[in-house]
Amino acid sequence: MADRRLQVFHAVAKHLSFTRAADALFMTQPAVTFQIKQLEEQYSTRLFERRHGSISLTPAGELVLGYAERILALSDEMETRLSEMTGEMRGPLLVGASTTIAEFMLPRVLGEFNALYPQVRARLIVANSESIESRVAEHTLDVGLIEAPAKLSGLNSQICCEDELLVICAPDYPLATLKSVTPKVLADYEYISREPGSGTREISDAYFSANQVPLENLKTQMELGSPEALKGVVSTGLGFAIVSRAVVAKETQLGALASVPLNPPLTRSLYLVHPQDRFQSRLTTTFIDFAKKKLRELAL
């Protein structure tokens, strides 16, 4: 029920970009610009300074941002409280997930949750961990599932399960016959990496660095934006990749790809993130508890 112009302003203020705000709100950039212009005309003041291809908040914009965050949070709380008076679990649930979780873990979780609560309308947004974290922080998502702890202030991170990462390669690739492989050995082979901003990329980079393999020494052939793309390229024999065990379970079972454990092992925690200072509806808290339980079961 909150004024749409305030929602648009909030997104632009958080991103400091009309283009990124439009992407987050699933709007066109001209529509976002029009909404901001209307708001500025309503209050007869500029809310953003526009210069040299960048924008920043004016003092008036800073003031409006503080009120916008409180108004939007109260509006969400009112709508949720009213819906919960019926005693039923109903309404929209905006869930964001990093690519690996969304493609290989979350479908079963959402399916079983919908079976329990058919009046809930879940909507899944898929992006890399960095993007999901930003959308949760700007309150355009209720909850996010990502592959690294949240870095932005104002977010609460909860570990939901543990995930092992493995090396994958074509069955006839030289690494395929190994029982395990060290980071220093991997530096001699062609590497197919995830893109910057990916949780998998972040933890893989940290793993190589922690094991005295400088990132510039890796023979990185390309950077790809999804686990499916990684598997497709690796299957051609071009090189190896590092992915979650869940990502490659089907292919290794069928013999289409080989997986090799890392030595030392590489495991990571997967995280549920939500705004720290925002009212949590019964629907959101129920989903968080349900998702943690189911993801732990899937990780076993």
In order, the DSSP letters of 150-177 are --STTEEEEEEEEEEEEEEE-TTSGGGG
> Tell me: the pLDDT tens digits for 202-240?
999 999 999 999 999 999 999 998 889 999 999 999 999
Burial class (CB in 10 A: 0-12, 13-18, 19+), 23: middle
What pLDDT, on a 0 to 100 scale, did the predictor assign at position 162? 87
Q: What is the number of other CB atoms lying within 10 angstroms of the CB of residue 228?
A: 13
Q: Are 95 and 273 in contact (CB under 8 A)?
A: no
- Pairing outcome for strands 54-57 and 219-224: unpaired
Residue 299 has pLDDT above 80, yes or no: no
To which residue do tokens 């930003």 refer? 134
- pLDDT tens per residue across span 185-204: 999 999 999 998 888 899 99
Dump strand ranges (E) for the chain.
48-51, 54-57, 91-97, 120-126, 143-146, 155-169, 190-194, 219-224, 241-244, 258-275
Q: Which residue has the tokens 């908040």?
A: 57
Q: How confident is the model at residue 2 (pLDDT cuts 50, 70, 90)?
A: low
Q: Of residues 192 and 81, which shows the higher confidence score?
A: 192
Contacts of 184 (CB under 8 A, 6+ apart): 211, 212, 213
Q: What is the pLDDT of residue 219?
A: 96
Mean pLDDT, all residues of the chain:
88
Asked if residue 264 has a cis previous peptide bond (ω within 30° of 0), the answer is yes
- Look at residue 279 and tell me whether its pLDDT is greater than 70: no
**Cα separations in angstroms, 294 against 112, 249, 268, 290, 298:** 9, 18, 17, 6, 6
DSSP assigned state of 270: E
Assign 178 a pLDDT band (cuts: 50, 70, 90).
Answer: very high
Q: Are 136 and 183 in contact (CB under 8 A)?
A: no
- Bridge partners of residue 144, in order along the sequence: 96, 273
Q: Give the tokens for residue 29.
A: 């950039």
- What the block records as the tokens of 216 is 């510039």
27-to-8, 76, 91, 112, 269 alpha-carbon distances in Å: 9, 20, 22, 31, 33
Least confident of 77-81, 110-114, 121-125, 255-259: 77-81
pLDDT of 86 above 70: no
